[in-house]
Chain A
Amino acid sequence: ENVLTQSPGTLSLSPGERATLSCRASQGESNNYLAWYQQKPGQAPRLLIYGASTRATGVPDRFSGSGSGTDFTLTISRLEPEDFAVYYCQHYGSSPLYAFGQGTKVEIK
């Protein structure tokens, strides 16, 4: 079973600062079926990044994804007030089909 571990658990930053979120998979694969989601309280998750580095439709270019194999990163270049939320990574594989990390909360410092 592929387990995704996100770090840190919480990131306390100010608007305008850079956020760097990490996601490590227990099983490395040659594909880059890694996605990132943003979730705000009371809302469904929103897909931000897929294929490790491709922004989904309508996602601002301050969001970028990188990485391969077992180590992936989501970077928010300059935090806007609406970016404070919880972020999840997710990998598609054989077991489970969609594995999610436990989430990183980006909070206002």
Chain B
Amino acid sequence: QVQLVQSGSEVKKPGASVKVSCKASGYTFTTYAISWVRQAPGQGLEWMGSISAHNANTNYAQKFQDRVTLTTDTSTSTAYMEVRSLRSDDTAVYFCASYYRISYYYGLDVWGQGTTVTVSS
């Protein structure tokens, strides 16, 4: 079945970087885009950016444009999200998500399980 499996929890110090992976299975990876959404503790969902697995075109939320890089590795059907210069308010659960049964403009119907990133000195 269609699945997105993310890498495990991370604990980082302020100023460090973190790279989270999202491995897709059950569908042709290059057909779709992968989006990244984060959720701070007790807070709502926040879209960070999206990357086309077909041509690696990216679209970032303005807030994350300077500190976040999205990439893909089509040979392993894996998407990556790197956040640099981590701050305590980057502590959150990070989700990758995509669309499969619907068109990209209708929403995100496939989600990874989430990766907890904790930023603490």
Interface residues of A (CB under 8 A from B): 31, 33, 35, 37, 39, 44-47, 50-51, 54, 56-57, 88, 90, 92, 95-103
Interface residues of B (CB under 8 A from A): 35, 37, 44-47, 49-50, 59, 61-62, 95, 97, 101-102, 104-109, 111-114
Contact A92 B107, beta carbon cutoff 8 Å: yes
> Please, which residue of chain A has its CB at the minimum distance from the CB of B61?
A96
Inter-chain contacts of A95 with B (CB < 8 A): 62
How many residue pairs between the two chains, A and B, have CB atoms under 8 Å in the bound complex?
Answer: 74
Contact B44 A50, beta carbon cutoff 8 Å: no
In whole angstroms, how far apart are the Cα atoms of A90 and B49 in the complex?
A: 14
In whole angstroms, how far apart are the Cα atoms of A39 and B113 in the complex?
A: 12
Closest approach, in angstroms, between the C-beta of A95 and any C-beta of chain B?
8
> Please, which residue of chain B has its CB at the minimum distance from the CB of A42?
B114
Contact B101 A56, beta carbon cutoff 8 Å: yes
